[in-house]
Structure 1
Amino acid sequence: MNLCLFDLDHTLLPLDSDHAWGEFVVALGWADGPEQRRANDAFYAQYQDGTLDIAAYVEFATRAWRERPAAEQAAAHERFMRELIRPAIRPEALALVREHQRRGELTAIVTATNEFVTRPIAAAFGVETLIAVELERDAAGAVTGRIHGTPSFREGKTVRVQQWLHGMGRRVQDSERVTVYSDSTNDLPLLELATHPVATNPSPALEAIARERGWPLLKLFP
C-alpha cells in the first residue's frame, strides 16, 4: 500500500491552528491579551526560524485552558471549529486529500500542533489517522502541560510515523510510493523520507530547497 502524509498548518490549512487557538483563548477571556499575544507571536517566530523549544511551547499553549472543565474545553473548541477552522478549509485541500484516499493510499495528518487542537480538524478533513503532539494527562485525565512520548516535531515526525507503521507490522520502506506534503523546512526530515516530496504553499526557504532538488511545488492557496 502506498503512503501519503500531510502536514496541517499552512499545508492543508491556510493558517496556523496552534497560533489561531492562542489568539482564540484571548477572545474567550481565558488569557491576558497583550501578554498572551506577545508570547504566542514569539513562539511562532521561533517555529518559523527553526529554534522552537517544543516543550516550553506546549506548556504555554495549554496553560489557559488545561484546568478548565472538560465540557467547557469541548464547547470552546467547537466554537473555534465553527468560527475559524471550518470556514478556512478550502475545497482544493479537501479534494487533494480525497484523491489520495480514492487511490487507496494509507493517509495520515502529521502535525507539530497538539492533539487537543488538531483532532477535530483531522476529522473535518475526513482523515482517520492523526499523528500530533500527544499531551500528558494525570490519573484523573487532566492535561498536565507536558508532552507524552516523542513530539511530532522536526525529526520527531519521522520517529512517530515509523512507530505508527510499526504498530501495524509495517515500515516506511514497505511502501512503493511515499508522498509527503509540507510547507516548512521544519519538515525536511519527513520530506526527505518521501519518494515523492511536495513543497506545498512553501515558505521561501523551503521553496528554494525544493527548486534546488527538483521537488514539485504546489500552491493550494493564493
Structure 2
Amino acid sequence: MPESPQDFLANWTASRGNLRNFLETTAFAPLGEGPQRAAGEAAAAVAVEELFGINLDAYSAGVESVAGSFESAGANKLNHPDPAIPQDVGAAAFFDVDNTLIQGSSLVSFAFGLAKRRYFTFSEIVPIAWKQLKFRVSGNENAEDVAAGRVQALEFIKGRSVEEMVALCEEIVDQSMAHKAYPGTKQLAQMHIDAGQQVWLVTATPVQLAQILARRFGFTGALGTVAEVKDGKFTGRLVGDILHGPGKKHAVAALATMERLDLSRCTAYSDSANDVPMLSMVGTAVAINPDARLHRIAQERGWLIRDYRSVRKAVKTYGLPALAMAAFSFGGWRLTRK
C-alpha cells in the first residue's frame, strides 16, 4: 500500500532528525574545552603573526605589559584630548624617553634620586653612573646594561610602598628630568597632539616615572617596565616584558589592538638601534639624536633624522680629547675662583 502523505511526512521528519543527530554528534561533534582552546590559540597566533610579525607568546607578554601599565595609572589614558581639536582616530605617535625626549638616562636620574633617600649606598650607584657616562659620550645604548639596570632597579624597590615610590618619582621628574627635555622633541609631540593624535611614551623606564613625565607634558599615556605589586608594595618581580628592544614592539602591538590604532598611520621616534623593531612596525619612523648604527639604518631605509643634541655635535666638531681638556680647564678655573 502506498504511504499516505501523513506517514511520509512523519518518516521524513524522523529521518531528518536522525541525520541532524548524526551530523551533530558524530560527523561534526562539538570540540571539548581543550581542543577549543587549542583551535582558538592557533587562530590567534596566525592573526598576530600576520598583523604584527610576532608570535603569540611575545604578544601575550606585550598585553601583560600594557595591562600592567594601565593598572599602574589607574586608567587607560592619563590625559584626555582637547575637545576643541578634531580627533584623528586610529593615529598615534610613540616616543622613546632616554636621549629622545630627555637628555641622558632616566634610569640614572631615578637611581640618584633613590640614592639621595638612602635606598642604597654610593658604591652601588657607581656602576650605574659608569654606564650613564658611556651612554652620554658614545650615544650607544647597551642592551645588557639596560637589562641589568632594570633588574637592579626592581631589586632596590622590593618591599617599598607604591605610594611612597610615586611621590619620589614626582620629585625626581620635577627636579631632575622635566627641564632636560629636548625642545625639538617636545614640539614634535605637540604637533601630534594638535593634529588630534594620541601620544604615548614607550620606554624601559619604570612605568611610574614614565607616567609622571607623560602627565607633565600632556601626553595620552605611557608604557614602561612594570614591577609587580601586592598589598600596595613592590615584590621585586617583573610583569610582562622589559620594554627594551623587541619588548617595545610587543607592547605597541598590544596597545594598537586595545586602542584600535592603524599602525600604518602611526609614527615612532627613538635614538637607539635597539628600537628598530618598534620603528619598523609603523608607517613613519623618525630617528631622534640617533646613535651611529641607527643613523646608518635610517639613511638606508629613508627614515627621517632629527638631531637636537649639542654635546655630541661638539664631539664631532672638536673631538673628545679637546673637549675633555676644555672641561678640566674649566673645572680648574672654577676651583681657583673659590
TM-score normalised by structure 2 residue count: 0.58
What SS is found at the alignment partner of 2:150? helix
1:64 aligns with 2:156: yes
Change (3 A) 1:70 1:129: closer
Q: How does 1:176-191 map to 2 (within 5 A)?
A: 176-191=264-279
> 1:208 is matched by which residue type in structure 2?
R
Question: Alignment partner for residue 250 of structure 2, among 159, 171, 176?
Answer: 159
> 2:107 is matched by which residue type in structure 1?
D
What SS is found at the alignment partner of 1:133? strand
Q: Distance in 2 between matches of 1:179 and 1:31?
A: 39
Q: Distance in 2 between matches of 1:101 and 1:159?
A: 24
- 1:82 is displaced (CA, Å) by 2.3
1:91 aligns with 2:183: yes
Q: Distance in 1 between matches of 2:220 and 2:123?
A: 37
- 1:69 is displaced (CA, Å) by 4.0
1:143 aligns with 2:215: no
TM-score normalised by structure 1 residue count: 0.86
Query: Cα RMSD over matched residues?
Result: 2.4
Change (3 A) 1:116 1:40: farther
- 1:67 is displaced (CA, Å) by 2.9
Q: Distance in 1 between matches of 2:185 and 2:201?
A: 12
Higher relative contact order (CA 8 A, sep 6+): 1
| Higher CA-based Rg | 2
Change (3 A) 1:142 1:44: farther
Structure 1 stretch displaced more, 113-122 or 43-52: 43-52
The answer for the alignment partner of 1:10 in structure 2 is 99
What SS is found at the alignment partner of 2:185? helix
The answer for the alignment partner of 2:290 in structure 1 is 202
- 1:71 is displaced (CA, Å) by 4.8
In the alignment, is the contact (CA less than 8 A) between 2:96 and 2:201 conserved in 1?
Answer: yes
Q: Distance in 2 between matches of 1:60 and 1:123?
A: 26
Change (3 A) 1:76 1:50: closer
1:27 aligns with 2:116: yes
Q: Which has the higher helix share?
A: 2
Equivalent pairs, count? 217
1:100 aligns with 2:192: yes
How many percent identity over aligned positions?
Answer: 26
- 1:65 is displaced (CA, Å) by 3.6
Give the unaligned 5+ runs of structure 2: 1-89, 311-338
In the alignment, is the contact (CA less than 8 A) between 2:93 and 2:198 conserved in 1?
Answer: yes
Give runs of ≥4 in structure 1 deviating > 4 Å: 42-47
- 1:44 is displaced (CA, Å) by 8.7
In the alignment, is the contact (CA less than 8 A) between 1:23 and 1:37 conserved in 2?
Answer: no
What SS is found at the alignment partner of 1:8? coil
Q: Distance in 2 between matches of 1:70 and 1:145?
A: 12
1:216 aligns with 2:287: no
The answer for the alignment partner of 1:118 in structure 2 is 210
Q: Distance in 2 between matches of 1:66 and 1:8?
A: 24
In the alignment, is the contact (CA less than 8 A) between 1:19 and 1:44 conserved in 2?
Answer: no
The answer for the alignment partner of 1:50 in structure 2 is 143
- 1:12 is displaced (CA, Å) by 0.8
The answer for the alignment partner of 2:172 in structure 1 is 80
